[in-house]
């Protein structure tokens, strides 16, 4: 079905269920409860989950299959964002042309960078991509200010002249991004008991695109092209000895990965029409590396899990301050409460990076395959069945047979 195996179909169905049911899954606690701090089912965060999931899926096609570690993929994310915002400024507020342009421009940009960077491999390739990303960041921050608006960032204004759409609404404000009339910020609230679930149009557009992107990556993984990329990762020198030139395959993987990054950048701008140079910093490139390794490089669903894991920590744990901690431990005596808050404080709030770093070290040390390997180990524990006890054989009832010797 759909050209994939039964096992892959199961994985795809899991991704579909997680994406479409996210408003319920990410809001497990009632709104007024003390544990509501851990709810993540609001539109902005859910959009980040799937957008960075797309970013990580694309990066995994390059790193997970070929083993080429790029530290410059944030450049394609930023280029995609700038392209989308310019499309909003010049053409219309429909997100479809903006997303398509972001993919095209990011793809062309990745051809240029990939053609130069792939002349080297290993650490030299990583350094080249990092250098290109930093050059792109500095160009966007200063030299290309007329195009990128420098440190302020590129954003929509009332003076924008759109050829296929209105420049100003009847109320005198800037039009909002839409999908053929359906506004991306349109949100339906569903109150069930103490729970409040939000269904956002922009999120579901991103979720559907992520599902399609995941399916495409799955087909790439299982295709002869994907097998060739695995051969490059396994032993590129041996592949050269067979007379096969791996450069076109690695360049194709690099470009596909760049298009995915451009798609993620275009979706970011579609949800919030703003593009800044900070999206092209090396830290953003390092973040997608962490997502892929944490989830499981070379696996299908791993990058999606890694992206959700890191974004959850970034947006949930970073909001836990001393006031929240004192509310949690208010049942303790005053002196003990202060001691516990003092111990926990460095690991939450502004110190959430410390908790993430510790978890990352634990995963890399004990789960080299990432979160996917952890899930596989847990599944094996449940599937393991005790073998039935076999009674010892009785020699009287089961005499040993003498081998027949040919005369």
pLDDT tens for 315-324 read 888 888 888 8
Find the mean pLDDT for residues 182-192: 91
Q: Is the pLDDT of residue 402 over 80?
A: no
Residue ranges and CATH numbers for the domains of the chain are: 15-315 (1.10.3470)
Helical axes 247-271 vs 43-66, angle rounded to 10°: 180
pLDDT tens for 59-74 read 999 999 999 999 999 9
Which of the two residues, 61 and 282, has the higher pLDDT score?
Answer: 61
Which of the two residues, 388 and 248, has the higher pLDDT score?
Answer: 248
Q: pLDDT-derived band of residue 360, with 50, 70 and 90 as boundaries? A: confident
Q: Is the pLDDT of residue 330 over 70?
A: yes
Residues 6+ apart with CB under 8 A from 294: 305, 306, 309, 310, 360, 363, 370, 371
Rounded Cα distance, 47 and 263, in Å: 13
Find the mean pLDDT for residues 73-85: 94
In the structure encoding, which two tokens stand for residue 273, read together?
Answer: 């029409």
Q: Is the pLDDT of residue 288 over 70?
A: yes
Neighbours of 209 (CB within 10 A): 20
Considering the chain, what percentage of its residues have pLDDT values greater than 90? 50
Rounded Cα distance, 262 and 113, in Å: 14
Q: What are phi and psi of 278, to 5 degrees?
A: -65, -20
Find the mean pLDDT for residues 303-331: 87
Find the mean pLDDT for residues 284-294: 91
Specify the pLDDT at position 405: 43
In 3D, which of 184, 85, 73, 185 has the Cα closest to residue 132?
A: 73
Specify the pLDDT at position 1: 65
Specify the pLDDT at position 407: 39
Query: E strand or H helix at 340, and its extent?
Result: helix 334-344
Find the mean pLDDT for residues 240-252: 89
pTM above 0.85, yes or no: yes
pLDDT tens for 229-245 read 999 998 888 888 888 88
Beta 187-192 vs 178-179: how paired, if at all? unpaired
Rounded Cα distance, 117 and 110, in Å: 10
Q: What is the DSSP string of 137-196?
A: HHIIIIITHHHH-GGG-EE--TT---SSS-SS-TTSSPPPPEETTEETT-EEEEEETTEE
Rounded Cα distance, 351 and 341, in Å: 13
Rounded Cα distance, 260 and 255, in Å: 9
Query: E strand or H helix at 275, and its extent?
Result: strand 274-275
Average of per-residue pLDDT values in the chain: 88
In the structure encoding, which two tokens stand for residue 43, read together?
Answer: 């539109």
Q: Is the pLDDT of residue 388 over 60?
A: no
| Angle value at C-alpha 352, between 349 and 355, nearest 5 degrees | 135
């Amino acid at each position: 079905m759909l050209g994939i195996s039964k096992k892959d179909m199961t994985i795809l169905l899991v991704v579909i269920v997680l994406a479409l049911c996210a408003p319920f899954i990410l809001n497990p606690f009632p709104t007024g409860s003390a544990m509501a701090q851990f709810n993540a089912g609001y539109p902005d965060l859910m959009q980040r989950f799937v957008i960075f999931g797309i970013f990580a899926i694309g990066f995994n096609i390059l790193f997970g299959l070929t083993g080429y570690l790029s530290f410059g993929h944030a450049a394609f994310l930023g280029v995609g964002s700038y392209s989308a915002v310019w499309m909003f400024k010049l053409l219309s507020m429909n997100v479809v042309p903006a997303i398509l342009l972001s993919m095209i421009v990011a793809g062309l940009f990745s051809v240029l960078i990939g053609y130069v960077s792939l002349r080297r491999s290993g650490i030299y390739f990583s350094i080249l991509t990092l250098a290109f990303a930093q050059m792109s960041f500095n160009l966007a921050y200063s030299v290309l200010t007329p195009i990128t608006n420098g440190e302020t960032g590129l954003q929509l204004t009332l003076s924008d002249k759109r050829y296929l759409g209105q420049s100003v609404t009847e109320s005198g404000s800037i039009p909002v991004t839409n999908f053929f009339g359906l506004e991306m910020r349109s949100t339906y609230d569903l109150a069930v008991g103490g729970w409040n679930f939000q269904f956002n149009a922009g999120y579901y557009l991103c979720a559907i695109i992520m599902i399609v992107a995941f399916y495409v990556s799955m087909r790439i993984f299982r295709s002869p092209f994907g097998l060739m990329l695995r051969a490059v990762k396994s032993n590129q020198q041996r592949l050269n000895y067979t007379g096969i030139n791996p450069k076109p395959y690695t360049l194709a993987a690099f470009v596909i990965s760049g298009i995915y990054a451009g798609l993620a950048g275009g979706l970011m701008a579609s949800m919030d029409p703003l593009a800044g140079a900070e999206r092209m910093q090396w830290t953003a490139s390092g973040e997608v590396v962490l997502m892929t390794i944490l989830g499981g490089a070379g696996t299908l669903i791993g990058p999606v899990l890694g992206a959700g894991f890191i974004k959850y920590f970034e947006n949930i744990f970073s909001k836990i301050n001393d006031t929240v901690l004192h509310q949690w431990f208010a049942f303790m005596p005053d002196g003990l409460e202060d001691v516990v808050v003092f111990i926990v404080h460095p690991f939450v709030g502004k110190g959430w990076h410390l908790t993430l770093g510790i978890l990352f070290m634990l995963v890399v040390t004990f789960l080299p395959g990432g979160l996917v390997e952890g899930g596989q180990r847990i599944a094996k524990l449940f599937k393991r069945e005790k073998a039935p006890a076999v009674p010892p054989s009785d020699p009287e009832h089961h005499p040993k047979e003498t081998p027949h010797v040919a005369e």
